[in-house]
Amino acid sequence: MAEGHKSLNLTLRVWRQANRQAKGEFKVYNVKDISTEASFLEMMDILNEQLINEQVPEGPVAFDHDCREGICGMCSLFINGRAHGPDDDITTCQLHMRKFNDGDTITIEPWRSGGFPIIKDLMVDRTAYDKIMQAGGFVSVSTGGVPDANAIPISKVIADEAMDAAACIGCGACAATCKNGSAMLFVSAKVSQLALLPQGKVEAAKRAKAMVKKMDELGFGNCTNTGACELECPKSVSISHIARLNREFLKANIKD
Amino acid sequence: MKGFFKSSIGKKVLMSVSGLFLILFLLFHLCMNLVVVFSASAYNEVCAFLGSNWYAVAGTMVLAAGFLVHIVYAFILTAQNRKARGTDRYDNQNLPAGVEFASKNMLVLGVIVCCGLLVHFGQFWAKMMYAELAGTEGQFAPTDGAAWINWYFHDSPLAVAFVIVYLVWFAALWLHLNHGFWSAFHTVGLSNNVWIPRLKCIAKWFSTIICAGFAFVVIFAACGGINTKSDCCNKEKCGAKTECHQEAPCNPQTCPNAEQGK
Amino acid sequence: MAQLDSKIPEGDLKDKWTNYKEHQHLVNPANKRKIDIIVVGTGLAGASAAASLAEMGFKVKAFCYQDSPRRAHSIAAQGGINAAKNYPNDGDSVYRLFYDTIKGGDYRAREANVYRLAEVSNLIIDQCVAQGVPFAREYGGLLANRSFGGALVSRTFYARGQTGQQLLLGAYSALSRQIGLGNVEMHSRTEMMDLVMVDGRCRGIVTRDLLTGEIKSHFAHCVILATGGYGNVFFLSTNAMGSNGSAAMKAYRKGAYFANPCMVQIHPTCIPQHGNYQSKLTLMSESLRNDGRIWVPKKKEDAEKLQKGLITANDIPDEDRDFYLERRYPAFGNLVPRDVASRAAKERCDAGFGVNNTGLAVFLDFKYAIQRLGKDVIEQRYGNLFQMYQKITNDNPYETPMMIYPAIHYTMGGLWVDYELSTSIPGLFAAGEANFSDHGANRLGASALMQGLADGYFVLPYTVQEYLADQFNVPRMNPAEHEEFKKAEQDVKDWIDKLMNVKGKESVDSIHKRLGHIMWENVGMGRTKESLETAIKEIKELREEFWKNVFIPGSKDGLNVELEKANRVADFLELGELIARDALHREESCGGHFRLEHQTEEGEAKRDDEHFMYVGAWEYKGYNQDPELHKEDLNYQYIKVQQRNYKAGK
């Protein structure tokens, strides 16, 4: 490892909330001897092991996580005021403790956005994103009977840009960071990816309308182009996709 | 288009289009103001041209509608956005560097701009276009815009205060435009990875030119730069209440106002 | 010991699948609506099966433990997906893909299944492109390919280092479409707790709602398990934290045979372990071996200095570097199959040539590729992987070589299935990593995505119909009233109460870590009779301890992550023993299963085809009872069985 590891003693302010309706509050816990080589979630594991052993009434902290390699999009957390913590282009599970100093107080909060109600502690409900996908985030082809993969050449530039958009992991950091609670970056990533590719272009208009409609229904806010979403997006999805969504949506509406 | 204006993007497009329209208006307004720097009488001619004519009134109505749409939707969108944000707020939120101040505070900046606008209306529009329409008389003739400018920023006992208020107003306008300009293009989809930085750059230049232009006129006036008794007729000589826009030197024989003044 | 019938269709290898499809029974469209299918797991296999079956008109209920089907761990696959398209014109064909897969699997996979896999591989690429998967392309606009371990052709399609993500999102999109249309009923944050058996057939599952704790049962005419692999038996693996073997174990206890559990793949290029608090290991894509060269120092003193941190990799001149894969396997070099690369790394580290402070790492060096191709090209190919590596280790791989070490990655073993992907329980199918079918004793890179999608898109939609053809007459059962369903629910409730009532002192994770340690030390890369016997004994003891001393805080109602983990670890504690048993009985080395007693003089795996050319399928006989072994003999008719050779080109 580049520099030898150090250990940290930290004070954690963790949001505890029993369920959606309950009133939440910050609880303060101390953890000791955390290696700078450990990941943030490993630090949370250590905290939970400690809380289990101490048998605290509120129990271990509930938080979402799964792949722990920055791709499943399940981990969330607002750490010291930033979605996915104080580092750029990563998810919480990729954040390492070397980003912190001995003696730091770390504030850990759940995503707070109207679209993502809290389930428990740091765990939030992001099924709204699934619902938006169900409204139109697909190409309507069924299995079988499709043309050869090389039948339609696609410019590398276009394919690359589609891939940039497709890199979205659906973690919700965009809406969680947005002062308007807007899901536009998420919606635009899918609309843009599929509008760029000839396969998706066929129903681009229908898709843009359906996904925006669902997004509005679910109570997400309106984009005011602050650009906070793209800065906090762990996959650096660009707001230029929002411009493309706007364009697609306008086009779709002008046509009919 | 069914339901378009009810959708979030539709509402944003209204903000964008009305904003772009207002931006265009600002550009015209600035051009007009700058005339006063060169010639007070020429400026007054413009004022007269945009006085109580049907086209000027119609233009004003359209402009007012643009403002109204922009303001009403600003409040509707903000209310919706606050609701979407949810009831819980973050204990602390450190947005990463790179989020423009203006983009987070467009409503506040907009309200400041509106307040400035009300002052401006009271000072100029009410005394000029409205006075002309209503036929009321003021300190100066409704078409003597240069005189009004000179009064507020130079002769009035509150001139310094007015200058400060106007400069604050322009600063807010600068910030509002800075974000509003590129954001408007983004919202109607006229932007991409290449054009976002370009539009942001154009926005900076544009808002700086607009606001610096307005500020320049105010400061120019504050410094006494507007000669209301300039190249036109001399009031003491012919006794006219309003300027007659005749070429200097004044000829009381041909001055249309000289008659009434007597 | 009974012989298993794998129901391989008649005919020439090339014609088997076509013949099957042409003669199988189908369900008419009107009757499809009357049939319910449960799909557990929403990874590549599950999502694609659920979507395809729903498109056909079946009523599908899909289940996943994550908050969304898009989170399944297929998403983490990096490198790519194989297909026999032969776009690069380098000599690929269906037969060659089939041949490479069988050979890579060390001749322990079923010919007919693998041939079918190779056959449908091309359809998968077509399907994914049609769904809008942004595969990498050449400037001419056509699809790009790269090479992977165990193959001499470039047949791997990829989407940067996120191929699994893009393929899964494609399947998830198709699934989402069907959910939106009302053809799939999606249950997320729901864990399968047991199967429901009615008259010897699988007729549904019992689930626990992970948020409310509610135990509920669901009816279906057939059930598909696409629940992934069981690598987390080892605690540390490249699997997701939630990946588990419980669904397979519940099926095993209900009578489904568990095949080749000892066939576990250890991936050679993972980031080495850094501490005992570590929760998981991170894989660095195998595609890195295309351009990275693997080495350790030639001189032991250099290795010792590296271990003490006195020098760095860049201080060692080229002539003192031992590119051991290129040295030992000149034909394939750094692109030997995973099992071979992993063992070679372990061999060097065991010999004292490891390069980090624990002595358990080797270098993967991009210096040469950067010299040859330029930094830009390398960044384009692997940029996101390099970034990921740097975030985790704080080292910059453009400047210093990566350090890597093998880690548990994939399980070739799984529920035994026949040609139709049906387990030994009628009405229960297994797909993707959850079954054992296609990879033999070792899986080649970029073949897991291929198999998952092949099963889901192109195999199950046919074979499930064969089973269902006479099932539309079976009326839907009401779980609330049906005795078997009520009983199954009660059994699950009892099981949970049993877990909650242990009320011991040790946390679930702590016991899981101990299990992982036993497994890695004794059932890991180099297994012996003694180590396996030790493992069986220690796992048994640990299992007893678990049931006496595990501590689960909170209650069974509502969200209780510790209870979820306890349920999974309880199953791992039985599965771990089964793995060790299978490894003990298999007195040979093949693929991922390496018995130190059975190796050639050069240290290569030594198979015993005479005695072990079969699939070992285990039947559950009760808690703490010895399971019974069933065999399915493997007959190679279209391939010449030989010693795997990655040394020579011919």
pLDDT for B230 equals: 47
Q: How far is A199 from chain C (nearest CA, A)?
A: 6
CB-hemisphere CA count at 13 Å for A255? 11
Asked if A98 and C394 touch (Cβ cutoff 8 Å), the reply is: yes
Residue A214's identity, in one-letter code, is K
HEC states along C118-162? HHHHHHHHHHHHHCCCCCCECCCCCECCEECCCCCCEEEECCCCC
**pLDDT of C33 above 90:** yes
**Alpha carbon separation from C370 to B143, C357, C366, C380, C391 (Å, rounded):** 75, 27, 6, 12, 21
pLDDT at C2: 64
CB C607 within 8 A of CB C281: no
| Residues 6 or more apart whose Cβ sits within 8 Å of residue B201 | none
pLDDT at position A138 over 80: yes
Q: Which DSSP category does A197 fall into?
A: S
Q: State yes or no: ipTM above 0.85.
A: yes
Is the CB of B13 inside 8 Å of chain A's CB atoms?
Answer: yes
Q: Averaged over A83-104, what is the pLDDT?
A: 95
Percent with pLDDT over 70 in chain C? 99
Q: Topology of C267-409 in CATH?
A: Flavocytochrome C3; Chain A, domain 1 (3.90.700)
Any A CB within 8 A of C125 CB: yes
Q: Does A52 contact C507 at a Cβ distance shorter than 8 Å?
A: yes
Q: Which residues of A touch C209 (CB under 8 A)?
A: none
Domains annotated on chain A, with CATH: 7-120 (3.10.20.30), 127-255 (1.10.1060.10)
Going by C-alpha positions, the residue among C210, C151, C106, C164 that lies closest to residue C409 is: C164
Q: Are C605 and C598 in contact (CB under 8 A)?
A: yes
* Residue C192 in tokens: 């399968």
Residue A189 CA to residue A163 CA, distance in Å, equals 10
Q: Give the mean model confidence (pLDDT) for residues B143-171.
A: 93
Question: Is C338 an annotated catalytic residue?
Answer: yes
Picking from A37-41, B93-97, C249-253, C534-538, which range would have the lowest pLDDT averaged per residue? B93-97
pLDDT at residue number B170: 97
* Token code pair at residue B257: 């106002």
Half-sphere exposure of C461 (CA within 13 A, CB side): 22
Does chain A touch chain B (at least 3 C-beta pairs within 8 Å)? yes
State how far the Cα of C235 lies from the Cα of C569, in Å rounded to an integer. Answer: 10
Q: Write the pLDDT tens digit of every residue in B8-42.
A: 999 999 999 999 999 999 999 999 999 999 988 89
- B178 at A interface, C-beta within 8 A: no
Q: Does residue B240 form part of some domain?
A: no
Whether the per-residue pLDDT at B227 is higher than 80: the answer is no
Q: Do the domain assignments include residue B146? A: yes
What is the model's pLDDT at position B259?
46
Mean pLDDT of chain C: 95
Instruction: Indicate if the pLDDT at residue A24 is higher than 70.
Output: yes
Judging contacts by C-beta atoms under 8 Å, the chain A residues touching residue C179 are 130, 134
Q: Does A contact C via 3+ CB–CB distances below 8 Å? A: yes
Q: Smallest CA–CA separation between C367 and chain A, in Å? A: 18
CA C174 to chain centre: 23
Q: Which residues of A touch B203 (CB under 8 A)?
A: none
Q: Where are the alpha helices (DSSP H) in chain A?
A: 40-54, 127-136, 156-166, 173-177, 184-196, 198-201, 204-217, 228-232, 240-255
Residue B57 lies in a domain: yes
Q: Residues C364-397: pLDDT tens digits?
A: 999 999 999 999 999 988 888 898 899 899 999 9
pLDDT tens for each residue of C183-227: 999 999 999 999 999 999 999 999 999 999 999 999 999 999 999
A114, pLDDT greater than 50: yes
Contact A147, A49 (CB under 8 A): no
The C-alpha atoms of residue B62 and residue C192 are separated, in whole angstroms, by: 64
Going B109 to B111 to B114 to B120, the CA torsion angle's sign is negative
pLDDT tens, residue by residue, B108-156: 999 999 999 999 999 998 888 888 888 887 888 888 889 899 999 999 9
Q: Which residues of B touch A165 (CB under 8 A)?
A: none
Q: Do A249 and B88 touch (CB under 8 A)?
A: no
Query: Between residues 43 and 82 of chain B, which touch chain A (CB distance below 8 Å)?
Result: 77, 80-81
Q: Is residue B239 part of a domain?
A: no
Q: Is the pLDDT of residue A170 over 90?
A: yes
Flag if B96 and A232 touch (Cβ within 8 Å). yes
Given C289, C338, C443, C543, the catalytic residue: C338
Any chains having at least 3 CB pairs less than 8 A from chain B are: A
Residue B4 lies in a domain: no
The values of phi and psi at residue C619, to 5°, are -110, 130
Instruction: Write out the two tokens for A173.
Output: 């950091």
Chain C residues with CB under 8 Å of A129 CB are: 68
Q: Across the interface, which of A107, A182, A238 has its CB nearest the CB of B92?
A: A107
- The set of chains that have 3 or more CB pairs under 8 A with C is A
Residues of B in contact with A157 (CB under 8 A): none
| pLDDT(A161) > 80 | yes
Residue C402's pLDDT is: 96
Range of the structural domain that residue B19 is part of: 11-84+100-230
Contact flag A49-C510 (C-beta cutoff 8 Å)? yes
**Count of beta carbons in the 10 Å neighbourhood of residue B90:** 20
Rounded-to-integer distance, Cα B83 and Cα B66, Å:
26
Domain total of chain B: 1
Instruction: Say if B260 falls within a structural domain.
Output: no
| pLDDT value of position B14 | 96
Chains B and C touch (3+ CB pairs under 8 A): no
Task: Kindly list the distances between the CA atom of residue A249 and the CA atoms of A181, A192, B5, in Å, as whole numbers in the listed order.
Answer: 20, 11, 12
C590-625 in b/e form (b: 16+ CB < 10 A) is: bbbbbbeebeeeeebbbbebeebbbbbbbbbeeeee
Rounded CA-CA distance C145/C142 in Å is: 10
* Cβ-defined contact of A240 to B179 (cutoff 8 Å): no
- Calculate the average pLDDT of chain A: 95
CB–CB contact C179 A127 (8 Å): no
Q: What is the pLDDT of residue C642?
A: 86
Residue B253 lies inside a defined structural domain of this protein: no
The residue of chain C nearest to residue A163, with distances taken between CA atoms, is C134
Judged by CB atoms closer than 8 Å, whether chains meet at A4 and C129 is answered as: no
The pLDDT score that the predictor gives to residue B128 is: 87
Q: What is the pTM of this model?
A: 0.94
Residues C473-506 have pLDDT tens digits of 999 999 999 999 999 999 999 999 999 999 999 9
pLDDT at residue C91 is higher than 90: yes
A175-205 pLDDT, tens digit per residue, is 999 999 999 999 999 999 999 999 999 999 9
* Rounded-to-integer distance, Cα B160 and Cα B157, Å: 8
pLDDT at C276: 82
Asked if the structure places residue B202 within a domain, the reply is yes
How confident is the model at residue B243, as a pLDDT?
A: 52
Contact C443, C412 (CB under 8 A): yes
Closest CA to A218 of A189, A183, A245: A183
